[in-house]
């Protein structure tokens, strides 16, 4: 009887449960509790298909929902045991029940949530996985573009017939070149076919937009023409936009840093220690020490260690040649950070994880000492985190952490960024990520794992996007999204000199959640 009522509820809500999850929900023997849990999973996880795999990947959020809904420890443990998740698993999978309980309580107390931290599925990849990956991305961006008021009279490519004025299409850029007449030729495809689009140089505004297009970009095009060829009148990106700039009633702040490169013989340890002491109110003048005590969150956006074997002959530039000892040094430094500061740390290309994005959390195999730090939270790259002690969503800030491996390819491919020396102004590059709502849109520019739901898509617009990698601090705002690029703690390397990079180390952007004031503290 209970099973039938649960299924009827799922039909009304448009939910689909797999057999295992249905059995577990049924064993709760409480219809009201079952409906509450399913409602909250749908609302908070934005998921209609609820499988054991989905619950496993979102274990922290599911645990929080159960705690709020069930209240009884026995119900919670019964749920996980029936689901077969009571086994001991590392942070890259699932923590044991006792560890989860401790972690969730800490997070609720400190008022932050790790909304998304990706785990890498262990499976053999095939062509179909890549097809699903790109189709899923295209469908998501298409839905966003369909709501753009600029794109009137939308049609699929296979429905184009005869000569048409004022039509719009949505598609993926599969080819781009300059014609003999110096116009831009695009080949656009959707799920129904391909079409050629010409962007005339006599339309300078549209022509500039087209110059910045990358292969595999999903865009909308307003055009006139026929099934043989279209002439572009406008190009529309999916784009990120926030209608509200949030503020908190609580006077607290977040600090953003990255690229320690511990182990490198160019690691600026003395300067980093000044920063750590300042966080504890032991460095700077009275006003600066008071400001430091407002900081409750620290974001470390990748490349915390220099790694080993990252590039040829790297051993000649290392003081610490064992990556485990590099992480021991990192743990020693982070252990000095005030315990009321929550630290979020994601990996980068130099860390002891696979380079393929999304990069998993740094594991115990190389970095076990990090797991002893109670206020340190290891997340994937990218990761999505909510902070703030306000009572409602308008006082909580959502931060997208991304180390930034793809940003170099944007500079290589987009003339505007090359000419403006965007390596010195990282937020110019980040704007292009936000415009596309994707962290690495062009196939082959960064290694990636093809999930069914592309983890590099910017599905929810963040209040803040925090990046690293380029070793220069920079702050800007794009459509109300705050962009914060972090500095580094490493002096210029021979490689950076060779490629013309100009690092600006030891600078730390500080963002006040109450006033929205941003300062860049200089520890050089």
Each residue's pLDDT tens digit, 431-463: 999 999 999 999 877 778 887 789 999 999 999
Quick one: average pLDDT of 314-330?
A: 93
Q: What is the mean pLDDT of residues 32-46?
A: 78
- Give residue 78's pLDDT: 66
pLDDT digits (tens, 9 = 90+) for 189-242: 999 999 999 999 999 999 999 999 999 999 999 999 988 899 999 999 999 999
- Enter the tokens of residue 156: 């699929």
Instruction: Specify the range with the lowest mean pLDDT, choosing from 115-124, 348-357, 377-386, 437-446.
Output: 115-124
In 58-96, alpha helices (H) = 59-70, 73-83
Tokens standing for residue 333: 């430094």
- Indicate the pairing of strand 518-522 with strand 507-512: antiparallel
Are 260 and 267 spatial neighbours (Cβ–Cβ below 8 Å)?
yes
Residue 51 phi/psi, 5° resolution? Answer: -120, 170
C-alpha to C-alpha distance for 216 and 213, rounded to whole angstroms: 9
Radius of gyration of the chain (CA): 25
Provide, rounded to the nearest whole percent, the portion of the chain with pLDDT above 70: 89
Rounded-to-integer distance, Cα 347 and Cα 374, Å: 18
Q: Is the pLDDT of residue 92 over 50?
A: no
Residue 93: strand, helix, or coil: coil
In this predicted structure, the answer to whether residue 76 has a pLDDT above a threshold of 60 is yes
What's the pLDDT tens digit per position in 463-479? 999 999 999 999 999 99
Q: Note the pLDDT tens digit of each residue in 496-510.
A: 777 677 899 999 999
pLDDT tier at 184 (50, 70, 90 boundaries)?
Answer: very high
Q: Strand ranges (DSSP E) for 200-315? A: 218-225, 229-236, 253-257, 295-301
pLDDT given at position 128 = 87
The DSSP output letter for 338 is -
Measured from the Cβ of residue 336, the count of other Cβ atoms closer than 10 Å reads 12
* Residues 237/142, Cβ–Cβ less than 8 Å: no
At residue 70, the pLDDT reads: 54
Mean of the per-residue pLDDT values of the chain: 86
The domains found in the chain, sorted by start residue, are 2-108 (no CATH), 148-236 (2.40.50.140), 253-522 (3.60.21.50)
* The pair of three-digit structure tokens given for residue 281, joined into one six-digit string: 């109110």
* Cα separation, 299 vs 291, whole angstroms: 17
Structure tokens at 439: 């962290």
Q: What local confidence, expressed as pLDDT, does residue 47 receive?
A: 77
Place of tokens 């209970």: 2
E strand or H helix at 186, and its extent?
strand 184-190
Give me the half-sphere count of Cα atoms (radius 13 Å) on the Cβ side of residue 324: 4
Query: So what's the pLDDT on residue 31?
Result: 79
Least confident piece of the model among 133-137, 353-357, 444-448: 444-448
Question: What percent of the chain stands above pLDDT 90?
Answer: 60
Q: How confident is the model at residue 375 (pLDDT cuts 50, 70, 90)?
A: very high
- Token pair listed for 95: 């923590």
The model's pTM = 0.78
Under the banding of pLDDT at 50, 70 and 90, the label for residue 28 is confident
Q: How confident is the model at residue 385 (pLDDT cuts 50, 70, 90)?
A: very high
Contact present, 402 and 301 (Cβ < 8 Å):
yes
pLDDT band at 162 (very low <50, low <70, confident <90, very high): confident
Nearest-angstrom CA–CA distance, 211 and 62: 45
Where is pLDDT greater, at 261 or 85?
A: 261
Does residue 12 register a pLDDT over 90?
no
- Compute φ and ψ for 184, nearest 5 degrees: -105, 125
């Amino acid at each position: 009887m209970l099973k039938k009522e649960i299924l009827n509820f799922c039909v009304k809500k448009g939910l689909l449960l797999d057999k295992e999850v249905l059995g577990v929900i049924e064993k709760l023997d409480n219809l009201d509790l079952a409906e509450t849990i399913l409602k909250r999973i749908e609302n908070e996880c934005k998921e209609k298909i609820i499988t054991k795999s989905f619950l496993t990947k979102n274990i922290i959020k599911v645990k929080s929902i159960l705690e709020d809904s069930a209240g009884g420890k026995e119900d919670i443990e019964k749920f996980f045991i029936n689901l077969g998740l009571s086994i001991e698993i590392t942070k890259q999978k699932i923590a044991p029940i006792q560890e989860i309980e401790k972690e969730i309580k800490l997070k609720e107390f400190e008022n932050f949530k790790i909304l998304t931290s990706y785990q890498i599925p262990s499976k053999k990849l095939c062509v179909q996985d890549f097809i699903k990956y790109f189709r899923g991305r295209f469908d998501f961006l298409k839905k966003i573009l369909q709501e753009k008021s600029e794109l009137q009279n939308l049609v699929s490519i296979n429905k184009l017939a005869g000569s048409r004025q004022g039509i719009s299409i949505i598609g993926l850029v599969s080819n781009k070149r300059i014609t003999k007449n110096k116009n831009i030729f695009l080949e656009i495809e959707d799920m129904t076919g391909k079409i050629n689009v010409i962007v005339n140089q006599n339309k300078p505004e549209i022509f500039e937009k087209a110059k910045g297009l990358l292969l595999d970009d999903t865009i909308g095009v307003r055009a006139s023409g026929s099934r043989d060829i279209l002439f572009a009148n406008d190009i529309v990106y999916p784009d990120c936009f926030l209608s509200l700039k949030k503020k908190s009633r609580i006077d607290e702040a977040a600090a953003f840093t990255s690229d320690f490169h511990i182990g490198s013989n160019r690691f600026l340890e003395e300067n980093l220690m000044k920063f750590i002491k300042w966080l504890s109110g032991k460095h700077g003048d009275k006003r600066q020490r008071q400001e430091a005590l407002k900081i409750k969150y620290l974001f470390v956006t990748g490349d915390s260690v220099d790694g080993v074997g990252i590039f040829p002959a790297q051993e000649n530039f290392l003081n610490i040649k064992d990556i485990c000892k590099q992480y021991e040094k990192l743990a020693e430094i982070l252990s000095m950070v005030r315990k009321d500061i929550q630290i979020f740390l994601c990996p980068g290309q130099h860390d002891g994880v696979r380079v393929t994005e999304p990069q998993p959390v740094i594991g115990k195999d190389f970095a076990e000492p990090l797991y002893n730090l109670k206020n340190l939270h290891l997340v994937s790259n990218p990761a999505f985190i909510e902070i703030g002690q306000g009572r409602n969503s308008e006082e909580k800030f959502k931060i997208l952490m991304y180390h930034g491996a793809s940003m170099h390819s944007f500079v290589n491919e987009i003339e505007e960024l090359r000419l403006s020396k965007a390596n010195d102004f990282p937020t110019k590059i980040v704007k292009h990520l936000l415009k596309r709502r994707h962290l690495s849109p062009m196939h082959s520019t960064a290694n990636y794992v093809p999930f069914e739901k592309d983890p590099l898509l910017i599905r929810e617009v963040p209040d803040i996007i925090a990046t690293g990698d380029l070793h220069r601090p920079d702050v800007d705002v794009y459509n109300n999204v705050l962009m914060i690029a972090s500095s580094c703690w490493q002096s210029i390397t021979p490689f950076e000199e060779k490629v013309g990079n100009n690092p600006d180390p030891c600078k730390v952007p500080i963002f006040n959640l109450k006033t929205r004031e941003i300062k860049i503290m200089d520890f050089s």
